[in-house]
Amino acid sequence: MERVERDFYAREQEDQEAFLSQTWCNTCMEADLGMKDAKEYEQDGVIFVEGVCAKCGEPVCTEIADDDTDGEWDDDA
């Protein structure tokens, strides 16, 4: 279960805002409360954004389904 850190802030601004707003909090049991202190990492080929709930401060984690996970973000040709 190797965990590889990635740079969330290397993403496009609008991607960042989307991931930071489209959350699910297991503590509040509510969607889209927002996330703070986001960090991105990859584990077993799956990318996650992890942060804390903007409402209650408990950890929240979003799994990113992304077709292009090899670090190249500018090859839409």
Which residues in 9-48 contact Zn ion (CB under 5 A)?
Answer: 25, 27-28
- 56 or 64, CB closer to Zn ion? 56
| Residues 23 and 35 sit within 8 Å (Cβ to Cβ) | yes
- The residue from 56, 59, 61, 64 that contacts Zn ion (CB under 5 A) is 56
Taking CB under 5 A as the binding criterion, the range among 7-15, 16-24, 53-61, 67-75 that sits at the site for Zn ion is: 53-61
Q: Which residues of 11-50 are buried (b: 16+ CB within 10 A; e: fewer)?
A: beeeebeebbeebebeeeeeeebbbeebebebeeeebebe
Interface residues toward Zn ion, by CB under 5 A:
25, 27-28, 53, 55-56
